[in-house]
Amino acid sequence: MSQETTAESVIRCEHVTRTYRGTGGARLVDRLRDDGERPATTAVEDVSLSVSRGEVVGIEGPSGSGKSTLLHLLAALDVPTHGTVSVCGADTADLSRRERTRLRLEDVGIVFQRFHLFPSLSARANVALPLVELGVPKRERREHAERLLDSVGLASRTTHTPRQLSGGEQQRVAVARALITEPSLLVADEPTGELDTATGDRILSLFTEAAARDTAIVLASHDRKALDIADKVITLRDGGRTDG
């Protein structure tokens, strides 16, 4: 157990490194011929941190410093090259792809930088989607999704599809979707990036309320106001922590 780790940890991340082999963007023919000489990118290097129930942790750092890569590891979307990440007690590298999908569905809410909404579904259906996969009856899903959309100021937009919504509205749909399962962990990449001040404040209040209900929250941001809701902020530079 590291010094930072407590029994209440939702995330335990120990000496985590993530290296991408230098195949990004290469043509298939080049990848098949790859002799391992292509330069690799170490996006995250030897990072340790823990996040407890109800704790908000901010991640700051310049573009390319590894914030999104670290968030993907913490959300069990990816596994480390070295070191361990455990989420709700499970070492993510020990899980099959299917088990990681289940872990995310049940325990993790994710707000991506580019929202990842389904274009053909209404805002309400996008928000309710995790509940479909969890087998919640239709009427209950609809009511819950509508309540959440109301809480992010989108009560009048429930039947709009993503392309009928502004960037900021899509962001709010993504936040509502991440919160609908009342996850143990919420991971958010630039959650206020597209939002005007009032809407950004509203989203941050939702995060603070979720933390008060014991959700652990990790958010990466360049926005000082977003980082201000954090109990602690870690700083990344070239993939490593520089905050001591």
Ligand X SMILES: Nc1ncnc2c1ncn2[C@@H]1O[C@H](COP(=O)(O)OP(=O)(O)OP(=O)(O)O)[C@@H](O)[C@H]1O
Q: Which one of 68, 122, 126, 199 is in contact with ligand X (CB under 6 A)?
A: 68
The answer to whether residue 65 forms part of the interface with ligand X (CB under 6 A) is yes
The answer to whether residue 130 forms part of the interface with ligand X (CB under 6 A) is no
- What is the footprint of ligand X within residues 27-56 (CB under 6 A)? 41, 43
CB of 193 vs ligand X, minimal distance in Å: 10
CB of 178 vs ligand X, minimal distance in Å: 18
Cβ(217)–Cβ(186) under 8 Å?
Answer: yes
CB of 116 vs ligand X, minimal distance in Å: 15
Q: Which one of 58, 66, 83, 162 is in contact with ligand X (CB under 6 A)?
A: 66
Question: Which residue type sits at 108?
Answer: V
The answer to whether residue 76 forms part of the interface with ligand X (CB under 6 A) is no
CB closer to ligand X out of 61 and 109: 61
Say how far apart CA 230 and CA 217 lie, in whole Å. Answer: 9
- Identify which of 85, 60, 40, 35 has the alpha carbon closest to the alpha carbon of residue 185: 85
CB closer to ligand X out of 1 and 40: 40
Only one of the segments 61-69, 74-82, 146-154, 224-232 lies at the binding site for ligand X (rule: CB under 6 A); that segment is: 61-69
- What is the footprint of ligand X within residues 152-211 (CB under 6 A)? none
The answer to whether residue 241 forms part of the interface with ligand X (CB under 6 A) is no
How many residues interact with ligand X (rule CB under 6 A)? 12
Only one of the segments 58-66, 141-149, 156-164, 196-204 lies at the binding site for ligand X (rule: CB under 6 A); that segment is: 58-66
Residues that bind ligand X (CB under 6 A): 20, 24, 41, 43, 61, 63-69
